[in-house]
Structure 1
Amino acid sequence: MLFVCLCAILQHHAAYVSNLNTSLQKRDDALSREDLAAVIELDHAIKFNGGGHVNHSIFWTNLAPVKHGGGDFEGNASQSVVNAIKSKWQSVEKFQETFNAKTAAVQGSGWGWLVYDPADKQLKIQTTSNQDPVGSLGVVPLLGIDVWEHAYYLKYENRRPEYLKEIWKVVNWKNVAERYTAALKK
């Protein structure tokens, strides 16, 4: 079962990449023909498929099995991430409650994000619809949680809040800390 699910996940992500490449080529062709209507239409496909690729690429690195540190906030998050989260939300539990509430409220499909906002020099929780890439909003994605039904339906059916509660057990805090450190250097 796990092998079948993993193959389906990889095929799903590969489809975003394939469709992105096709859309980029078609857009170049439309641009060379000066077909502005086609360029604009293809921009939507590029945003969707490009966002699907970017978002999932972050998501995969944000997850780790428990035996490889998944879910271990205190052991794997850098002190700077620990301090930033606790400064903003008072505790990891309050952060997770706030994150889960905002992310569970996404209408339809989308994502919940922990981001670093370089303009405000602070962490924020943001949500995006569909495959909209959060980085296009001028923030740096640190942690992305997929709340499209395909991410949780096989195990949780329509119980998105339960999925959100459980996913913290496999969050790769080491990766989040690496992303935060890199974001501070920009």
Structure 2
Amino acid sequence: MANSSKIFDLMHKQLRKSFKNIESIKNVWKNTCSTALSSLNSLQNVAEQYHCILRCVRSQSPDFMLVKRFPDIHERIQYKLIQEMELLIEKLQINIDELQAILSKVHQQYVNSMAVYKKNAEHLPLDKITEGTATWPSVADMLEWLQDVDALFNFLCENQRQVLASVNYNNEELMQSLSTKWKRGNRETEESLENVLAHVSFFMADG
């Protein structure tokens, strides 16, 4: 029993460390998401300008004196806008890489806690693993929450990679739907994360 108690202390220590690390990661994640969304909104705005130019070209009605004086003005503006979009794509790729690094850190918290559990599982009675208190959730619940958070971050990162890979400057409808697709799952992840951290707040404070 004494040995079991020590192992539970070790398990709780690792879980506490994992949740504290996730809490510190949370603000970095939110700031990175905010930066990425700002770049994405800028990309949509530039794409809108790009398609306005395309519509003007297709209309074949050079009504403005500027167009009459500079017949290649459309091509020059289009080229400039494409350059702007490519720069924004590069920024978003950097954001994706940063989010992937955050995901890796979140995943590591789950891996570390599961490693301690698996190493000592035979010394941890099932009834004790599933037993919690008003302020300390059960070991089973906390391991499950770490897995849930890991899965949510993994979904977000994969979704955002797919959105970035789908970019097609010539598809106006797709370009204007990017931010909606990009934000898919963001609110649910943030709410779930806050909910989990609220459940373990007393547990974290006790260590």
Give the TM-score, by structure 1 length: 0.32
Specify which structure has the bigger relative contact order, considering alpha-carbon pairs within 8 angstroms and separated by 6 or more residues: 2
Larger Rg: 2
**Larger helix share, 1 or 2:** 2
- TM-score norm. by structure 2 comes to 0.29
